[in-house]
Every structure is written in structure tokens, then in C-alpha cells.
Chains A and B, each alone.
Chain A
């Protein structure tokens, strides 16, 4: 099955960013995901965020693992190098790319199988390394490409399309991040572009690793009664759950999250998910308090959204390693080789 090239006709009146590029310039190939897939909404939000930030497309490196999420890197930023790697292995490959060229805007797209099962170890250590990159976890609680097995983010008691009930505890990427030293943790919903775009923009401006866990319902295998990650009923039932403005790297974060409260989101099959925005006065910089707050919400059966935790103080991988400000790929060979004279000193008896 060949990939589908999207026609690149641009409306003359299309809005341009500071680089003179339209949103079209940040799009990619035509999606081959199922119609209505939450992942496509995330792609659209990402296109919007990249366009607004006017990031030069060729400076983007977009990487993914395997699964439905892995395909989405083809669907945005056609002017960027893409890397659809192996299942769960995107974090190390992104680490290598960023190590070699720190000027790249590194974007990793992953799924719940990719991130929370086969690649869980890599995600945990990526958090510890605090690699400067945007890490989007397209979270639908199900293995789509292999036709509907539970993933590690499936809630206890949720049922698969065949009727089987999940009895294993879910892994929450946000709580994982809080314990593994992640410095930017946000959660959103694929259907809420108004919330998602500012979160993605904040994430792209973060000093280190920004993990954005996006609940993204699978229309084919996880969109039925009994699933706790099914799709929004209709646009008119959508409740905007929280809002995050773009956060530049340095200033305080607290002011950016308005009060909103909880909302039951009704799915078209009648199932509901209770989202709650973080309240006014919520302090996303206090790791211990955030951990407690997330655990309380979880106990109430609520999915907390918004910018949940941020810490701009810890150094990223390059800062920790004290590596050259100049990308390592740009350093001329002459500066890297100590030369024959030095080698003869190594050999001295």
C-alpha cells in the first residue's frame, strides 16, 4: 500500500506566519489512519502549534516507534526529516539525534503500547536524561494495529471490544514522570484543540523533556461502551476542560491555568469520561503536591488535564554533559583529532 501524497495547493489568502509559511507548509502526507481517529486531531494541533511558533521545517526531526502513533510522523512537517523507528525505541534514537545536533527541534510521537509497555524503560530514562524534546504520547488504551489488545494504560474494569475485562493496573505516564524526574508533564484530550495547541507550544519551548499525554480514542477498537478512552460524542457535547496559554521558558507558570472545574464528557455510545482541569491557584511546580493531587484525582476516577507539572530549573542532557554549544555535527574534524604528535606521547614508555 503506497503512502498517499497530499496535494499541495495553498489558498492565496491563507494566513502566513513570521516566516511567510502557511499551515499547509507544516502538513505532511495524507493520513491512512481510520476516519475519525483521535491521532489525526493531535496531528492537526501539532501542525497548528509548529506554524504558530514558525519553526523552520528543516530544523525539525520527527521520530516515532511502531503502532498507529508511529505512522503519524509522516502526516506533519513534510519539510522535516522523519524517522519511523522500531517499537518502543524512539527515545534512544531521539537522544542520539539530539546529541549529534542540539539545534534540531526534536519531536517524538509515541503510543501507549510503545511508551508504556515495550518502551517503558526507555521513556523512564529519557525523563531522567531530560532530553530537550517534545514527547507526545497518543494514548488510547488499546493496540490498534494488532486489533484490539489492552495496553498498559487501560483502566481496571474497562472492556475490550470482544468483551474481556482488564484486571491489571494501568501505568499513568504522568505519575511515572513525577517519580522519574520528568520536568514537564501535561495531559490533554485529542478533541480539545483549544487546550492542546497551547500545551504543545509550551512543551516545544521547554528547556528539557516535555511529555504530553493525550487521550486519543480509537474509533475502531476502543470506541464502545465499557471503554474508558472512547471518542467524544459530538462537538456540542464537548466541554472545554482546561486551557493553557503558551508558556515562554522562564516566567512563572501558575498564572496560566484558569479555574474550570470538572466535566463529564459523554461518548457517543453513552460511556463517560470525567475530565477535571487543574484548579485556580494550582501550583505545577511543587512535585510532591502535584503527585498527591494526581493520585487523589485518580482515586476519584477523574482524568486530570492541563499543564500538570513543570520545572524549568534542571539542566537538559547537553547542559549536564557540558557539551559544545555548537552542534557536534558542525565541529570540523581538525578540532576533533589530537594528531600524530599526541599519539607518540601516548606510546611513550
Chain B
């Protein structure tokens, strides 16, 4: 399913036009570890409850406390809420980054700062409106204790923003009541801090300012959720019972969410026992090993990780491919190579995942573009892994996984039943004379497997070493090739089972744009901006590898294609060149890989420049 948010009007922030109601970007500069993210999240949630399409992106450091961290809120009534590159409102709460933050406000924008101390005159810009709120002074007067004062200062600036941005105070109060249910004292102090900022702003500024929110009709088919939570739900709904993992940013919250949902939904009310087992493994080598062992024994099993974990899993991913064992791996990509930038986003694992492991290996990949697809494709991953008896890697990224997205509501069809693929039970084994593991392939080149604990007749010896169609050890060329050639056919066959690409065609399009994953929203916004400037382009977003006929057809029909992706080496472009007949010179790249989520302006600028327009 292609995700389309309502509306057709491209956002204003990308092309630098003056801000309007329900169309602006706010950047909040904070110090990490001070509790600012919950205040920022509160603001974003309140706007969402007012029916306004909004996104909140956390640009945080790989650190526990004391370093700069930013939170960006983009409001766009038409639903284009990819990251903006210009900010209408800056909330400057971090002295370390003050100077740089002030520079980032667009001309005519606003800056909210703590006026408890005088502002350095060097940091004053004439083209920006300064909104000084004596946050520290007010909070120090109203609260005792260093910890409470730090926390409440965040809520106080949120209160000022509620007034300044025209956010519904009743909604904020409701959110605080929900958040602090059963913790009356906390709710009361938060409410008091909120009021401090709110009342001060109302008294001293003309509220709301010209970029502000107004209630919109609620979209019942949208929800607010992050991709890791949605992917975890997908694993629960797909019926995964065994999970193994090693903690790594930015995938940790996926397994945390899976565990939380299992505690809620998978505890037998009668026995109090768990219908799941999560193992925190010693490393990613073990995580993938546990997943393969569990899948081999017949469970639906998965692991979640990020790039460094994929590097470690290479050895056993090859074994899973060759011995034909299902496995589901969720790679929440971060910036590489090596340790890279663990809290920044990238799409740098495409090639590493497509061909993970030594020897001739090829894997099935799925590329979700938002949390809704994280949920849907996670379920699909298990069906594909068992149908094709092979590891399936779903490539999410930090931006999708860890940020809250306004995304189509997750829905479920209760008639769904897992596709367990070709597994012979005791009765079926009874009916055949002899079982050979890698023989008797179907139209998709899949051979039946058996599970331990079922029947002696189905017993076989699984091995990563050279094997025959019968499953016996071999070092004979013909016997070896018969199996690996079938594996190549099987992978090609899987192309027909992949999710269809998302396609948008435009009348009179001069060229096509191909993209992947979390680039979706920014690219579609960019194409609208370009269309308004007279450059019509067709759009395709790949959702799976191997590529199916719809992808090949789109490539074939365009003489010029821009491939937009978030890595330095044009990995999607390489994969298209390697795995489809498209001539290399038709593909041009738009590459953004510095670690922040893609914005439409990046795409507009690059394509405009390349077209010489």
C-alpha cells in the first residue's frame, strides 16, 4: 500500500515563502538528559490532537547527559511533514549552541529564549523577533530542588509555546492528566509550570504569533506512532514467539516494545506463563544464531539490530541462505561505516544486506517508508521468510524507527493466517517413501522441510557445508551446483511475491524519480514543488528486493531517472544496475547522507541543478 497523506499543496517552508497558519517549522535546542524531549513531545502530540498534520524529529547525540540535542517540529496542513531546512521559530534553551541556533532562524522568524539573564548583544539579529521569557527565574521561585527546577523549566517553555503557537490549552491539560494518571502531585506541578510560561507569554506578547496552529478536521485514519513500536506490533501480530537481540541504537526500542506488547498480550491468564521467549544475547552473532535455531525448530523468530549488528550476522546469514532456514531481521539503519554516528539516520546498509555473507548469497529485502509500513512489512517478512525458507531483512532507519510519525492507522484483518510455507507433518511424511530435504521443488523452487520432534522419517542433517539435493555432504561440482542454482532461481522467483512499488505518474513527465524507504515523503513533496515550477516527474518507491516487473517496467519507460537515497555510494542505484536490465547511464543520483532526515529542499535543489533548470 502506498501511503498518501491528504492534500495536494506542497509546503511553504521548503521554498522559503512566508509562514502561514498550520504551515511552519519549530526547532527546539536543548541539552540532552534534562527531560526536554517529553516537553517537546507534549507539544507535538497536542498539535496532532488538534487535527493538524505534524512531525517531530529528535536530533540527539550519542550521549547520556550534557550534550546538545534538538527537536524539530514541522507543521503542514497538507501532510508534507518531512524535515524542513528553515525554521520559523527557534526555542534556544542551550547556551552551548546559542550562536548557531540563532543563525538558523529564517528572516522574519521568532526566537524564544530564557531572559533570566541579559542576552549578549552580539547574538541579536534585527530581522528576528525575540520572545524573552524569564524561565529560570520563574521556575526557581515556584519550585524547590535542582532536579524539579530543571524538569519544570522545560514544561514552562512548553507553556509559553502553547500561548505563542495557539495550541489548545485544554488538550495540553488532558495530555498531562493522561501522562500522570495516578501521580497527582506530578500532574499538579507540571500543570503549574505550564501555566507559568503560558501566562507570562499571554501577558507580554501578542499571542498567537502569525505562524500558529488552528484546529482542523480530525483525520480518523491517521495515528501517531514510531516505526520501532509499529514493527514490534507487526512481529506480535505475525505470531513471532522467539526473539533474540543485542542492545544497539537505534533498534533497542523495537525489542523493548515487543517485550511490552508480549507482556500485555501473550501471558496466559490461567497459567500466568508466557507464550513467547525473548533472549538478550551475548552479541549479534548469537542473536541471529538463536533466530535460526528457533526457526529451524519451527517457531516464527526474529531479531532487531542496526548496521554493526548486520556486519556481525553476515556469517550466519549465509548459513541461513544456504541451509534454507527462515529468519526475520529488522535492520534499523544508522550512519556508518564502523561505529559511525549511532544517533543519526542513513540508508547505508542496502548493499550489505542484499548480499550479506561470503560466497554467492542474495537475500530478500523489504523497505518500509513509515511506521504503518513497518507494521505491514514486518508481517509480510515472516510470510516471505517461511514461504521461501530464507532470511528476510526489513530495512527501516533511525528516522522512521525512533521518531513519532503521523501515519495511516494500523489495521488488521482477523482472517489473516500465517503462510508457514512447505512444511511436512507426520501424516504427510507417512505418505511418501523417503524424505530428501532439497528435492521435490515447487514452481517457486522451494523444497519441503521438516521440523525436529515430529517424525523419524523426516529426520535430516542440516549443514552449511556443500550438500546434495538429498541433503548429504558433497564436494562434487554437479551435486553442489544443482543446489545453488536452484537457490538462484528461488530468489528470482521471490520477485513476484514482493510488495508492489509505490508509483505516482504525472502528465507530461520528463523523467522519473526512484527512491526508497524514509525518503518517501520528502521526495513526494519535492515533486509537487517541482511540478509547480513546471518540472513534472514520475515517482517510484521500491518496497522490496528482488525487484519485480513493475520496477523494471518503470525503469524501462524513462530515459532519465533520478535515484534519491541517503548514502554516499548510491547503493540503491548500484543494486538497480546489478539486478535489472536498466542501462547505467540512465540513472543519476540525488544523495543526502549527512545523518539528518531528508528534506524536500535537498531533492528540489539537486534535481533542479542537474536539469540545469
Contacts and interface: CB of A to CB of B under 8 A. Distances in A.
Interface string B241-269: 11010000000000000000100011010
Given A338-B265, A343-B237, A100 B289 contact: no
A1 interface: yes
Contacts of A80: 452, 456, 459
Contact of B293 (A57, A97, A322): A97
A248 B271 CA distance: 27
A31 interface: no
Contact of B239 (A59, A73, A333, A347): A333
A122 B236 contact: no
A6 interface: no
Interface residues of A, number: 63
A309 to B, nearest CB: 22
A104 to B, nearest CB: 5
B460 interface: yes
Interface stretch (B56-64, B471-479, B493-501, B557-565): B471-479
B283 A322 contact: no
A100 B286 contact: no
B293 to A, nearest CB: 2
A103 B453 contact: yes
A325 interface: yes
Nearest to A94: B293
A58 B456 contact: yes
A323 B273 contact: yes
A325 B271 CA distance: 9
B293 A99 contact: yes
Interface stretch (B33-41, B407-415, B573-581): B407-415
Interface in B248-307: 261, 265-266, 268, 271-279, 281-283, 285-299, 301
B237 A337 contact: yes
A180 to B, nearest CB: 11
Interface in A106-156: 121-122, 124-125, 129
A20 interface: no
A200 B224 CA distance: 56
B297 A61 contact: yes
B54 interface: no
A333 B419 CA distance: 11
A82 B276 contact: no
Nearest to A338: B265
Given A80-B459, A81-B460, A336-B275, A349 B292 contact: no
Given A100-B294, A122-B286, A336-B239, A347 B409 contact: yes
B237 A338 contact: yes
Given A93-B296, A104-B297, A329-B299, A323 B277 contact: yes
B262 to A, nearest CB: 10
Contacts of A59: 452-453
B461 A73 contact: yes
A38 to B, nearest CB: 22
A328 B416 CA distance: 20
B462 interface: yes
Interface string A318-345: 1001111101110101011111101110
A79 interface: yes
A97 B451 CA distance: 10
B354 interface: no
A80 B459 CA distance: 5
Given A96-B289, A101-B452, A328 B275 contact: yes
B117 to A, nearest CB: 39
Interface string A26-70: 000000000000000000000000000000011111010000000
B222 to A, nearest CB: 9
B277 A321 contact: yes
B297 A324 contact: no
Contacts of A340: 411-414
A84 B266 contact: no
Interface residues of B, number: 77
A229 interface: no
A74 B475 CA distance: 17
Nearest to B241: A328
Contacts of B268: 324
Nearest to A123: B282
B532 interface: no
A349 B224 contact: yes
A246 B316 CA distance: 37
B115 interface: no
B277 A349 contact: no
A75 B228 CA distance: 45
B492 interface: no
B316 A86 contact: yes
A251 interface: no
A150 to B, nearest CB: 24
A95 B237 contact: no
A85 B456 contact: no
A26 B7 CA distance: 69
A95 B294 CA distance: 8
Nearest to B261: A338
B276 A96 contact: no
B70 interface: no
Interface of A: 1-3, 57-61, 63, 73-74, 78-86, 89, 91-101, 103-104, 121-122, 124-125, 129, 317-318, 321-325, 327-329, 331, 333, 335-340, 342-344, 346-347, 349
29 contacts: A2-B473, A2-B476, A58-B452, A58-B456, A81-B452, A83-B293, A83-B462, A83-B463, A84-B463, A84-B465, A85-B319, A86-B319, A89-B286, A92-B281, A96-B289, A96-B301, A97-B452, A99-B293, A100-B241, A101-B451, A122-B282, A122-B285, A124-B282, A125-B286, A322-B272, A328-B275, A333-B239, A336-B275, A343-B233
Given A93-B290, A100-B295, A317-B277, 17 more contacts: A57-B459, A81-B452, A85-B462, A93-B293, A96-B294, A96-B295, A96-B299, A97-B296, A99-B293, A101-B298, A129-B279, A328-B299, A329-B451, A335-B275, A338-B265, A346-B410, A349-B49
